[in-house]
Amino acid sequence: MKGLFISIEGADGSGKSTQIELLRNYLEKNNYKSVLTREPGGTIISEAIRNIILDKKYMEMSDMTEALLYAASRAQHVEEYIKPLLEKGNIVICDRFVDSSVVYQGYARGLGISCIENINKYATKGLEPDITILLDINAEEGIKRKKNQRELDRLELQKLEFHKKVSEGYRELSNMYPNRIKRIDASKSVEDISNEIISTVKQLINDKYK
Ligand code: TYD
């Protein structure tokens, strides 16, 4: 594949959006062709599936249905959008990819890491990011950033348990794939984090195109 595939992962409140924007600014300034996309989403069909997954009308959705819908949305996204862009030599930045499913559905919801990895091997036909940037934040900090530092109510505390599992799951995954997943401490300053991401991406570009 001529292009470069970068995924960005992290629990809610990890500062993904800010960092994605800074990375895009850097790539643009240096005249690299880059495209930003997100999951679940990125194509008309994938966005339609996203609306089903995130709709509060469907609270009874089973965990496995959810996992398969994320994978279905991803299959379309890879086939219709990501692969053709990579073949044309673009740098594709994807806000969440398979690791989100492995962590949220496999680890936090308990369907199992290998089950979700297997489903997604079919969905992506084996496409993996060249690098994954993981913004590592602990659950309390992530939730605090989202809600303005007041005491958490019962529901939010339940959420906290889920978020703890998400953060744990991401750490476990980054230990499983240390070559692909670059873990960055998201409690550092925005500037420090951005510098770390940019130097990692620069290195990758050098290795790939030298
Ligand atoms: P979104 O509003 O895009 O959140 P964020 O800004 O945090 O990316 O919602 C996506 C939600 O879906 C987010 O909570 C993570 C979750 N998710 C999964 O559970 N599995 C997946 O495979 C993906 C891609 C996302």
Domain boundaries, the chain: 4-36+85-209
**Band (155; pLDDT cuts 50, 70, 90):** low
Output the CATH code of domain 4-36+85-209: 3.40.50.300
Average pLDDT over residues 183-206: 97
Average pLDDT over residues 1-7: 94
Predicted confidence (pLDDT) at residue 160 exceeds the cutoff of 90: no
What is the pLDDT at residue 12?
Answer: 85
Average pLDDT over residues 86-107: 97
Whole-number average pLDDT of the chain? 94
Q: Which of 25, 53, 26 is nearest to 39 (CA)?
A: 53
Q: Which of 8, 16, 19, 100 maximizes ligand 1 atoms within 8 Å of its Cβ, making it the mutation to test the pocket?
A: 100
Q: Which of 56, 58, 96, 99 maximizes ligand 1 atoms within 8 Å of its Cβ, making it the mutation to test the pocket?
A: 96
Distance CA 83, CA 131 (A): 16
What is the pLDDT at residue 150?
Answer: 65
Distance CA 198, CA 204 (A): 10
pTM here is: 0.94
Angle at 53 between CA 153 and CA 86, to 5 degrees: 120
* Contact status, residue 6 vs residue 92, Cβ threshold 8 Å: yes
Predicted confidence (pLDDT) at residue 146 exceeds the cutoff of 90: no
> Does the Cβ of 170 fall within 6 Å of ligand 1?
no
Q: How far is the CA of 199 from the centre of ligand 1 (A)?
A: 26
